[in-house]
Amino acid sequence: MKILVTGGAGFIGSHLVDRLMEEGHEVRVLDDLSAGDMKNVERWLGNGNFEFIKGDMRDPEIVRKSIRGVDAVFHLAANPEVRIGSQSPQLLYETNVLITYNLLEAMRKEGVKILTFTSSSTVYGDAKKLPTPEDYAPLEPISVYGGAKLAAEALISGYAHTFGFRALVFRLANIIGERSNHGVIYDFINKLRRNPEELEILGDGTQRKSYLHVSDTVEGMLHIFEHFRKGGRTFDVYNLGNEDWITVTEIAELVSEAMGLRPKFRFTGGVDGGRGWKGDVKIMLLSIEKAKETGWRPRMNSYEAVRRTLRELLKSV
C-alpha cells in the first residue's frame, strides 16, 4: 500500500514508519517537526519507497498535496502534551481538532478511503468502570487535551458515515519507549541528572496507570488495522493498553534504581486529591478484551515496559 503517516517523525509515528517500511509499503511522512525529529526517520532517507514532506497541517493545501495518491492514512500528528491544555487551549484545538478537519476534507476531496487515528485514554476522563471498555459512557474528558481528542474522534465518525470512507480509532494508554521525549519516565531521568539527591514528583505519587511499550503499540495497531480492513465496519474503536498498572512512586523507584541513585522523593501534593496537574486522570486502566479478540496481546506488562524504556532512554537521553 501507499500510506501517509502524519506525525511520522514523532515518537510513535517513527516506530510505525519503521514497521511499514520493513513490510515493503510505500510511506509518505508529513510532519512539521515541532514534536518530531528527523533523526527518527533518517535511516529511510534516499529509499525509493520513502518520502518526507515538512509541513504544518494547519495549512489545508499542504495536507491536500500530501494525501494525493495514497491508499490509507495513519493520523498521528498532534501535540502530545496533556498539560498544555491548561496553558494554551487554542494550540491544542489547532494541533488536534483543526488539523484533523483539514485531513478529513482532503480525504473527501481526494477520495482516500481508509483512516487510522491515534486517540487517547483521556477521552474517558475519570471513568467509574475499571478496566474501562470502548463502549463506556458518558465520555467526559477532564482536560482540554482529552476534549480535543474526543472532538477529533467525533469528526472522524461523522465524516466516515457521511462521505463513505472507513475509519479506525485507537484509544491509547500511556505509550513509552525509545525516542519518547516527554512523559514521567523522561522527566524523572532529566530531573535526577540535574539533581541526583532529590526527585520532585508531581501529585501525591499514588496516581496509577497502565503503560504500553511502543513496540507492542505498533504491533497492535498494524494487527488490528488488517483485521479492520477485512471486516465491514465503517467506524470502529479499540483500546490499546496493558492489563496491569503501576504507580508514579513505583516508577520513581525503578528510575532511581536503574540510575544507581537513592534520592529523597519530594511530592508536590498536586491538585484535586493528589493529581499531578489540573486535568490529570489519576487512575487509568483500559479494557483490552476487544483487541485481544483479534489475536493481539502485549508482550510486556507495564513493569516490563517501564524497565525496557529505562534501558532505552538511559542510552540516549
Q: What is the CA radius of gyration of the chain?
A: 19
Name the amino acid, one letter, at 106.
A
Backbone angles phi, psi at 266, to 5 degrees: -120, 110
Q: Do the first three CATH levels of 2-175+212-240 and 177-210+243-285+299-316 match, i.e. the same topology?
A: no
Strands (E), the chain: 2-6, 26-31, 50-54, 72-75, 114-120, 166-172, 174-176, 198-201, 208-209, 211-213, 235-240, 246-247, 264-267, 283-284
d(CA 154, CA 186): 31
Positive or negative CA dihedral for 37, 40, 43, 46? negative
Query: pLDDT per residue over 162-210, tens digit each?
Result: 999 999 999 999 999 999 998 999 999 999 999 999 999 999 999 999 9
d(CA 187, CA 255): 10
d(CA 203, CA 312): 26
Backbone angles phi, psi at 30, to 5 degrees: -115, 120
Which pLDDT score is estimated for 83? Answer: 73
Neighbour count for residue 274 (Cβ, 10 Å): 18
d(CA 287, CA 132): 5
Strand 26-31 relative to strand 211-213, pairing: unpaired
The residue from 145, 159, 211, 238 that is catalytic is 145
The CA-CA-CA angle for residues 219, 222, 227, to 5°, reads 120
pLDDT tens for the chain, 317 residues: list them.
999 999 999 999 999 999 999 999 999 999 999 999 999 999 999 999 999 999 999 999 999 999 999 999 999 999 877 776 566 889 999 999 999 999 999 999 999 999 999 999 999 999 999 999 999 999 999 999 999 999 999 999 999 999 999 999 999 999 999 999 989 999 999 999 999 999 999 999 999 999 999 999 999 999 999 999 999 999 999 999 999 999 999 999 999 999 999 999 999 998 999 999 999 999 999 999 999 999 999 999 999 999 999 999 999 86
8 Å CB contact between 19 and 4: no
Task: Break the chain into its structural domains and give their ranges.
Answer: 2-175+212-240, 177-210+243-285+299-316
Which pLDDT score is estimated for 65? Answer: 97
Which pLDDT score is estimated for 316? Answer: 83
Which pLDDT score is estimated for 85? Answer: 59
DSSP character for 98?
Answer: I
Which pLDDT score is estimated for 155? Answer: 98
Which pLDDT score is estimated for 86? Answer: 60
Site of grid cell 487551549: 89
d(CA 156, CA 146): 15
Which pLDDT score is estimated for 290? Answer: 98
d(CA 207, CA 203): 8
| Residue-by-residue DSSP string for 106-168 | HHHHHT--EEEEEEEGGGG-S-SSSSBPTT-S----SSHHHHHHHHHHHHHHHHHHHHT-EEE
Which pLDDT score is estimated for 82? Answer: 73
CATH architecture of 177-210+243-285+299-316: Alpha-Beta Complex (3.90)
Distances (CA, A) of 75 to 5, 85, 129: 6, 20, 28
Residues in the chain: 317
Whether 186 is catalytic: no
Whole-model pTM: value is: 0.96
Grid coordinates belonging to 227: 483485521
CATH superfamily of 2-175+212-240: NAD(P)-binding Rossmann-like Domain (3.40.50.720)
